[in-house]
Amino acid sequence: MSALSYWRLTNPPIVVLLTFTALAAGIIGGGLRRPLLLLDVVVAIAVCSMAARTLTNYVDRGMDARMERTRGRPLPAGDVPPQHALAFGLGLTSVGLASAYPLGWLYVVVIAFGLVDNIVVYNVLTKRKTHWNIVLAAPSGGVPALVGYASMTDRVDLTALLLMALVVLWTPIHIWSLAIRFREDYSRAHVPMLPVTLGATAGIRWIAATSMLLAGFTVALPFVPGSPFGLLTLVTAVVMGAVLLVFSAALMRYPTLVNSWRLFKFTSPYLAVLFALMALDVAVVRPPW
């Protein structure tokens, strides 16, 4: 048992991506003019994301032990005792929500909603019962972007909701493409991910449809009334959306494990690049001051 095991328990790559969406959304909301508040957002979202991943790993420890992809995680591997992981996750939750207090009670409640959606609604109640599980969990992934933007502007407006919706639409593509790659793993663990219960062909069709919806949604962002986004966001949305559709089309035409894995690996940089260049567009190309 080591500090590294506890660090791995938090799934750092996921935490980094979610925290980055909060940071970028905060910059879009004018956070460079409120650096201390923006820093507080980053800390609160990072710690709460670490808490969520730790507690979901605690809930999933039995399932993870049956899956080849996840059996090396700290809990199924025996590197961290379950009771220690639970205490660690609850401690991170307390610290994270306390860190969010300076943002205001509204944002503490919103972050708490994200934790409940991810840990309780997804992992405890629906992950093993319905193939729509990840759709029900998607709002939790959009909470960091919503909080990042709204806490800087002191309001939950259309832009805040659109940034959240972008992540919500992205989430099923990310998870379903992974589920196709590891379909046998999920089946062995009795987890009814959509590509497992409906079949890979149906799963690929849902991925393609969601990819088209996401690509069209991002292209439309600069044209929404009151949108802070401009030409850089439009170009980024067109280019990244085109690449996303190429990967999705390749998976539809050649439904192989390699193509599903390529799509999955592209989705994380897709979201990161999109948020980074949207923030650059608003803060540098067409700053609000």
104: region left, alpha or beta (phi > 0 left; psi from -120 to 50 alpha) = left
> Which residues neighbour 210 within 8 Å (Cβ) at sequence distance 6 or greater?
169, 172, 173, 176
- Separation CA 75–CA 155 (nearest Å): 40
Every domain of the chain and the residues it spans: 3-285
Q: Which position has the token pair 């049956």?
A: 66
Q: Is 225 helix (H, G, I), strand (E, B) or coil?
A: coil
Rounded CA Rg of the chain: 19
Percent of the chain residues topping a pLDDT of 90: 94
- Separation CA 161–CA 166 (nearest Å): 9
Whole-model pTM: value is 0.94
- Separation CA 32–CA 34 (nearest Å): 5
For residue 258, the model assigns a pLDDT of: 95
- Separation CA 4–CA 6 (nearest Å): 5
pLDDT 10s digits, 106-141: 999 999 999 999 999 999 999 999 999 999 999 999
pLDDT 10s digits, 44-67: 999 999 999 999 999 999 999 999
pLDDT 10s digits, 138-186: 999 999 999 999 999 999 999 999 999 999 999 999 999 999 999 999 9
Residue 219, both tokens: 């292209």
Cα torsion through 31, 37, 42, 44, rounded to 10: -150
CATH number of 3-285: 1.10.600
Whether the Cβ atoms of residue 47 and residue 95 lie closer than 8 Å to each other: yes
